[in-house]
Amino acid sequence: MSNQKNIYLVSDLHLGAPNHEQSLKREKHFVRWLSEIAYNAQELYLLGDIFDFWFEYKHAIPKGYIRVLGKLAEMSDRGVAIHIFAGNHDLWYRTYFVEQMGATIHHGPIIKNLLGRKCYLAHGDGLGPGDHGYKFLKFVLTNPLSHWLFEWLHPNFGIGLADLSSSLSRNANERKPRLKKYQGEKEYLHAHALNMNRKQPDIQYFVFGHRHILVEDEFVPKTKLIILGDWINHFSYLEINADEVALQTYPMPECDL
C-alpha cells in the first residue's frame, strides 16, 4: 500500500435531485469512490452543491444521505481533513459538519497551498462580471435574517419549497445552451481568474465547480483554470499528488446508469 498522501477535489453531486432513485445511485457510486481514496487521502475538498438543498434547523437536518455522511465521518476519523464549500444550492451550512466530523466550512473563495502548489478554490457562483440579479439574491439569502426567517418554516414546507425552487432553477439553466460549454475569454470564471491573476500572479491553479463542465485551460503561462465537472454526467474529480495535478473520472457502471 502506498504511503503517498493525495489531495482530492470534487463538486456538484446535487444529491437529492432529480429524484430519490437517481440520487441514491449517484450517492452509492460516490461512496465507492470515497472508499477507494480514503487510504491515501490527506485532504478532501467538496467545492459546493454536494446537496441539491441543505439547511440546518436547530434540531433537524434534511433526511437522507446517510451513506455519504457516514463515509465522510469515517474518513475524518481516519485523519482526512474535510473541507466543504457552500454552493448556490447548499449555501446554508452552519455547525453540523463541524461538530459531527470536524469539517471546515468555507462560505467564499480561499487560497491554499496544496502540496506545494498555490491554489485559488471556490464554488464559482457569483464570481466575475455581470449576473447582478443572482448576486443580489445571494446577498439576500446569505443574510442572517433570511436564515432566521426560513428557520421558522416547518421543514415539510421549507424543504419542499426549496426543492421546487431548485428544480425551477435547474430547468431554466438547461434551456441555456451557452452554459453547456466553456466560453473561453467570454467565460465569467475566466474573467475572474484573470483579474485575480493580475493581483496575485503567484497563484498556479484556479479551481472551480458550479459550471458542470470539465475544463483545463492554461489561460496565462504556467497558470491553469480548472473546472471540476460534476457527479451527474462526468463523475469527475481533481487529484493532486507529489507528481501532478490531474483531472480524473470515476465512471458510473453502465448497469447503474
pLDDT tens for 199-255 read 999 999 999 999 999 999 999 999 999 999 999 999 999 999 999 999 999 998 876
The domain spans of the chain are 6-256
Residue 134, number of CB atoms within 10 A of its CB: 13
DSSP state of 103: P
pLDDT at 1 over 50: no
Region 128-145: mean pLDDT is 74
CATH classification code of 6-256: 3.60.21.10
Task: Name which of 35-49, 143-157, 201-215 the model is least confident about.
Answer: 143-157
Region 90-94: mean pLDDT is 85
Work out the pLDDT band at 21, boundaries 50, 70, 90. Answer: very high
pLDDT at 35 over 90: yes
> Any alpha helices (H) in the chain, and if so which ranges?
20-37, 66-77, 96-101, 132-141, 144-151, 155-174, 188-199
Cis peptide before 18 (omega within 30 of 0): yes
Model pLDDT, residue 183: 85
Task: Name which of 30-39, 155-164, 213-222, 237-246 the model is least confident about.
Answer: 155-164
Q: How far apart are CA 69 and CA 101, in angstroms?
A: 9
